[in-house]
Amino acid sequence: MSRIVVAVDGPAGSGKSSVSKAVARKLGYAYLDTGAAYRAFAWHAQNAGVELEDAASVASALPSFEFSEATDPDHFSVRVGEKDVTDAIRKPAVTGIVSLVARVPEVRAALTEVFRSIAAATERDGIVIEGRDITTAVAPDAQVRVLLTASEEARMGRRSAELTGYSAQVVGEQLKARDRADSRVVDFMTAADGVTTVDSTELDFDETVDAVIAVIRTNL
């Protein structure tokens, strides 16, 4: 069976996770959130007591990283060893350190292999994989490649609406700082050759899902 891969990249708050999950659900595809893996590794590295500023120390936590992620869009969960970290990895304590671990080349190489194995193991007809470097590094040969963007203002507004209890200004500043740090490692602000941009600034959620499905239909 030839499995369809839909690769989705974009900056924080552009709608990658929620839109990709909805697209997967509608098409009966699997769904893989690669940011969740980087977050889970950051959580693990911190618990392992590594020196987060030191790349070699961060990489030393890789062999003990027992990661698993469900790919059913209706039952999403992330585990490290026996522990369910689905909620813990969304906390600001993890969001604030994830870029430090994501910049380490050994970490990127190891997680890229994990993503390819998960994609190869899915039993569904297709998989939507979302992150920052899926269209360019993880699955550059994907049949469908999308860059999901939205204005900084829209992204900050969406993220702060989601994180109730935190000041909109602090959430916005953290999002901008993380995008700045991440974009030094991977370019997810401009579409690579053959990648279709979907700008959701003026679209509501359902319209964005439909726009991504339209790109998929055009490419298959």
Ligand X SMILES: Nc1ccn([C@@H]2O[C@H](COP(=O)(O)OP(=O)(O)O)[C@@H](O)[C@H]2O)c(=O)n1
Ligand Y SMILES: Nc1ncnc2c1ncn2[C@@H]1O[C@H](COP(=O)(O)OP(=O)(O)O)[C@@H](O)[C@H]1O
Edge-first strand order for the sheet with 4-9 is: 30-33, 126-131, 4-9, 144-149, 196-199
Residue 161 CB, nearest approach to ligand Y (Å) = 6
Q: Given the rule CB under 6 A, which of 9-17, 75-83, 113-121, 181-189 is the region that contacts ligand Y?
A: 9-17
CB of 16 or CB of 44, closer to ligand Y: 16
Can you tell me the distance from the alpha carbon of 12 to that of 163, in angstroms, rounded to the nearest whole number? 13
- The answer to the question of residue 136 lying near ligand X (CB under 6 A) is no
Count Cβ atoms within 10 A of the Cβ of residue 23 and give its class: 0-12 exposed, 13-18 middle, 19 or more buried.
Answer: buried
Can you tell me the distance from the alpha carbon of 44 to that of 157, in angstroms, rounded to the nearest whole number? 30
Can you tell me the distance from the alpha carbon of 13 to that of 65, in angstroms, rounded to the nearest whole number? 27
- The answer to the question of residue 18 lying near ligand Y (CB under 6 A) is yes
Sign of CA dihedral 204, 206, 208, 214: negative
Among 34, 95, 196, 208, which residue interacts with ligand Y (rule: CB under 6 A)? 208
Footprint of ligand X on residues 105-134 (CB under 6 A)? Answer: 131-134
- The answer to the question of residue 69 lying near ligand X (CB under 6 A) is no
CB of 108 or CB of 158, closer to ligand Y: 158
Residue whose C-beta lies closest to ligand X: 35
Residue among 213, 152, 215 at smallest CA distance from 25 = 213
- The answer to the question of residue 41 lying near ligand X (CB under 6 A) is no
User: Would you list which residues are annotated within the binding site for ATP?
Assistant: 10-18
Q: Interface residues with ligand Y (CB under 6 A)? A: 10, 12-19, 158-159, 162, 200, 203-205, 208
